[in-house]
Structure 1
Amino acid sequence: MRARSGGLAPPPAPPEGLFHRFPCFTLLASRGPMGYTARMNLITRTEELAEVCARLGSAEFVAVDTEFMREQTFWPRLCLIQMAGGGTEALVDSLRPGMDLTPFFELMVNERVLKVFHSARQDVEIVHHLARVIPHPIFDTQVAAMVCGFGEAVSYSMLVKRLLNRNLDKTSRFTDWSRRPLSERQLTYALGDVLYLRDLYPKLRSQLDKSERASWLNEEMGVLTDPATYELHPEQAWRRLKMRVKTPKALAVLIELAAWREREAQAQDVPRSRILKDEALYDIASQAPRTVDDLGSLRTLHNGFARSMRGRAVLDAVSRGLERDPQSIPPIECGEPMPPEAQAVVDLLRVLLKATAGKHGVAPKLIATSEELEEIARSDDEEVPVLRGWRRKLFGDDALALKRGELSLAIEGGAVAVRPTKSEPA
């Protein structure tokens, strides 16, 4: 393993013959006490990938990052894989013709090796989509940083600056990673990202162990490694939409339309909006057109859509929605304002949340969202995340006790204090 403090040892030389068939040059990622040099090895053959993954398979952990494109597709298109750990660094050209990523996927499910990501969800989603496996075990540096008190949704560049005292060059972040050949600037950026990630892990691990909050992180990693997190069910696609319809009939049509669009987008591997924009979904759901002429009169659809194959599919979806069993239609979210007494409870819960977050040095949103506070104010029985696991111990139980009048809030020394409510004498 690399040294964890002071100067970092240079990586060992690759085995004889390894990487000899593709370009290899030196990246000076930084200078000074934390400086290091690394060989930029661009892997273009399956056998080379297998050799590298075999070496990484004996490491304690491997830092993993990916570069992908999805602006023009439904599924993310994996363009480059970056890995670093145990004295080995490598970039993998996942778009190279004939490249078989099986060795990489096998490494991702190797239980002896911890996989370190930053903001892991999209990286895990890519692996799950391509290989139907979930990387495990994993460590997400973004979540770990929040648990350690670095704030909510802490950025990678800020972590690198605070923990490694380095400034990231992000100029290549939004370049086209699908174009070949990749430039030296792109490769330098990509390798730098994963090398910093490798060096962030021991520092965050140390802080996490000192905080005695490893169980918090384990619960969050449980969500990230649950296959259900990445399953896309077309019949649930309507829940992703932000606007709301006003009648059960419109909701039934919207459910069928959103499911149809989801299936089409997945099958054709195009963004949902390429099939039908959200505004058109709501327009169709509200109007429930039954004929081609009715559909053609909607302003949100382009000329000719109603008589196209998609137009006919939309009319079929409308018919399915109108024929749905009323018992199968979820209740409409009325959006009515909370009653004053419930809103007062929410206000008190917000104060308690800020006090709890401040006491433990974590971001309030890591503990609970505004929506969860509202659900607690409305009912004790809501199955909300804040009433489960470490969040319940940290905040949920106190939130319920405050709602029941068993706790009170006071100002002591300029800060909010939480105190048990004194019982009235008999």
Structure 2
Amino acid sequence: MKTVHIIGAGIAGLGAAHFLAAQGIQSVVYEASDHIGGRAAGSIEEGTLFEVGGKNFSSQWPRFNALLKEFNIHEHDAQHPDFHIVLKDQLVKLDKSRTLSGDLRLAMQLGLRGSLQLKDFLGYSRKHADELNYTNGLIQQVEHKWDHKPVSAHFAPSLVAGPMRMFSIIMGAAEPEEVYPSLLTLFTAGFAKGQHFAIQGGIQRFHQGLANNKNIRLGERVERIQIEQGKVTGLVVNGADGEKRIDADAVISAVPAHVFKRLLVLPEQAQAACDSIRYFPLAMINARYDRPVFRDGVNSIMFEPGSVLGHCSANRLYQPEQVRFTLSGAAARKVLHQSDEALIALAEAEFSRRMPITGQLVTARVTRHIGGICAYAPNFTRVKAELLAGVDHIAGLAIAGDYLEGHTMEGCLHSAELASQRIGRYLAM
């Protein structure tokens, strides 16, 4: 039986292994780090839950929810129902379910133009939530109409500095002048679907379900995918025993685009497409204090332009003493090189300007995602088509990951499913 070689043990790589197993195809997964889960990893250490990236899911995600059922994971925690955004030096609430309906204070801060633009933008995303994706094609209309300029050029300044920046920071650790309207439309369309939860006990329970009975080699970094005469022939892998070549005729790359493009030489147009996909770095601090940090009905704060904090939230609604500080955005990028202690001090000082921290720090973990999270590219439908056209010319290769079907966990699973189907068809030839 032939073996499929998968690069990366994030949710896309683990998902690909799981979908291949469902077809009766065996695989081996190579992971450069010492843990599974990638940028959505999770663990419990000394009684503290550390989730260092994506952890929330929608009740309307078909693949993710089907796998939860398969893994017998039924215990969920509700996601916080609102955000508080720093607008004009004040904390202003944005209710996820009502948006502007009844949120008079938010409307007053945004002004008439900003309020109407936000209502129209969210209304369009909600109305077309099921059609806004890279499969059904409606997103191309948005790209054609709006992607000639970044988000910051299309909306009122008050809206750009507030809710639009909130979306761009959460989506891609990016400023509104660095992302394009189609990308935020995709994000808010997903935001509008169903109810949102986190897995009780941590996202690592889901990863472990995917990883069960799979051949996963931690600490093994793939350096190159070898291609001869238009076909995959092997991998060059660097591990504890040094660099070695492994014969392989079927490979799924499930690493970010900026890693994938280093593994092989793509056709010129596909290489240019891959180069255009942007990633912005961030750091996440999981911290636990000896008394509640969030209070007075606030459980999530989005910070203003110029702050080193992009956003932060209570780890769970019932854990106001546990905080996830995220240092993201332009100002944060200037300090990510500093020590863990310095980043914790910066985060605490910035947070305390809005809500003073009165407790003592018990434990903290700083995780730097220097590779960043994906902010895609303008007119991404065309970019993706050019990239996939280049990959299609290489027999035995498929790609999955955060840069193809949306960088949510559901999007990664979708890309993994498509990649496993492509490889399955190839092996059946």
| TM-score category (smaller protein) | under 0.3
* Bigger helix share: 1
Normalising to structure 1: TM-score of the pair?
0.21
The normalised TM-score by structure 2 is 0.21
- Structure number with greater Rg is 1
Going by fraction, where is strand more abundant, 1 or 2? 2
Q: Which has the higher contact order (CA 8 A, sep 6+)?
A: 2
